[in-house]
């Protein structure tokens, strides 16, 4: 399967229930809601879902890149790849998404339905609070028998 055919298979994204989709974007995954738009920006490195929740682990590209003093983009990318900084997210599909646009940070803030970004410890606490099933695990993700990968090179055959 060539790269263009791989992405053609995701025209609608991989459905994960209640109008939520996983999309590969420039070799990275993001989580989108049909009405709410992009909820978790790239790079979602692993995720899982059931009928009530979506859990995700994100390597926050912009957050990591923006905090670096380094000005050389290629050096910043190498530092990013070696980074072990992750954000954790939970989407409760039982709740309607509620949000507002915060002018001070120039970003949409979700007050209901989307929870995060969390540290690993905060994520586990919120997971227990929301009653996320133990069967949901952050592990390699597959669709149609193929892994959803993070690099374009890995999907070219």
Q: Tell me the residue range of the domain where 76 lies.
A: 3-155
pLDDT at 116: 94
- Which residue numbers in the chain have pLDDT < 70? 1-12, 27, 140-157
pLDDT at 61: 82
Count structural domains, the chain: 1
19 phi-psi bin (left φ>0, alpha ψ -120 to 50, beta other): left
Question: For 72-101, how does the pLDDT look when each residue is reduced to its tens digit (9 = 90+)?
Answer: 888 888 888 888 899 999 999 999 999 899
């Amino acid at each position: 399967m060539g790269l263009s055919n791989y992405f053609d298979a995701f025209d609608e994204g991989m459905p994960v229930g209640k109008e939520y989709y996983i999309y590969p974007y420039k070799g990275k995954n993001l989580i989108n809601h049909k009405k709410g738009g992009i909820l978790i920006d790239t790079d979602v490195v692993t995720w899982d879902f059931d009928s009530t929740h979506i859990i995700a682990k994100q390597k926050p590209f912009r957050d990591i890149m923006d905090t670096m003093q380094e000005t050389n983009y290629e050096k910043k990318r190498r530092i990013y790849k070696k980074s072990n900084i992750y954000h954790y997210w939970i989407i409760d599909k039982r709740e309607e998404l509620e949000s507002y646009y915060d002018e001070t940070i120039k970003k949409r803030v979700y007050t209901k339905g989307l929870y995060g970004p969390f540290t690993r410890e905060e994520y586990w606490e919120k997971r227990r609070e929301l009653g996320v099933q133990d069967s949901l695990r952050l592990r390699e993700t597959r669709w149609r028998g193929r892994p959803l990968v993070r690099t374009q090179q890995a999907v070219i055959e």
